[in-house]
Amino acid sequence: MAAQAKPIFDPSSSFFDDPYPVYRELRQRAPAYRDEATGHWLITRYADVERATTDFETFSSCKGNAVVDSPMRVGKTLGSLDPPRHDELRRIIQRTLAPARVTSMVPALQSSTVQRLEALRGRASADFIADFSRPLMFEAIGRLLGLDEEAAARSATLMSGLFRGGDGPMGGVLPQERFIEIGAFLREQLAGREASPADDLFSVLLEARDSGAPLGDDEIVANLSTVLLAGNASIGHFFPNIMHALWKFPDERRLLLADLGKINATIDEAARWDTSTQSFARQVMRPTEIAGVTIPADSRAVVFYASANRDETVIDDPDRFSIDRRRVRHFGFGMGPHVCAGAFVARTMLKTIMEAALPFFGEFDLDLTEAPRLRHIMVRGFVNLPISWKG
301-358: per-residue pLDDT in tens? 999 999 999 999 999 999 999 999 998 999 999 998 888 888 999 999 999 999 999 9
Q: Which region among 163-172, 208-217, 305-314, 375-384 has the lowest average model confidence (pLDDT)?
A: 163-172
Q: How many angstroms separate the CA atoms of 195 and 187, rounded?
A: 12
CA proximity to 143, closest of 345, 381, 354? 345
DSSP state of 73: T
Q: Please give the pLDDT value at position 196.
A: 86
User: Is residue 1 scored above 70 in pLDDT?
Assistant: no
pLDDT of 165 reads 60
Positive or negative: CA dihedral 240, 243, 247, 249: positive
User: Exposed/middle/buried for 23, CB within 10 Å: 0-12, 13-18, 19+?
Assistant: buried
Q: What is the pTM of this model?
A: 0.94
The letter for the amino acid at 68 is: V
- How many Å separate Cα 66 from the centre of its chain? 11
Query: Any idea which of 120-124, 158-162, 340-344, 358-362 has the lowest mean pLDDT?
Result: 158-162
**Which pLDDT does position 4 carry in this prediction?**
56
Q: Is the distance from CB of 217 to CB of 190 less than 8 angstroms?
A: yes
Confidence of residue 157 (pLDDT cuts 50, 70, 90): confident
pLDDT of residue 239: 96
Radius of gyration of the chain (CA): 21
- The SS3 call for residue 300 is strand
Report d(CA 49, CA 2) in Å as an integer: 35
What backbone phi and psi angles, to 5 degrees, belong to 280?
-135, 165
The 10s digit of each residue's pLDDT in 231-243 is 777 788 999 999 9
Q: Could you report the per-residue pLDDT of 252-305, keeping only the tens digit for each?
A: 999 999 999 999 999 999 999 999 999 999 999 999 999 999 999 999 999 999
| pLDDT exceeds 70 at position 364 | yes
Is the CB of residue 125 less than 8 Å from the CB of residue 388? yes
Q: Which whole number is the average pLDDT over 185-195?
A: 91
Average pLDDT score, the chain: 92
The pLDDT tens digits of the residues spanning 70-96 come to 888 888 888 899 999 999 888 888 888
Please, is 37 exposed, middle or buried when counting C-beta atoms within 10 Å of its C-beta (0-12, 13-18, 19+)? middle
Between 46 and 182, the more confident residue is 46
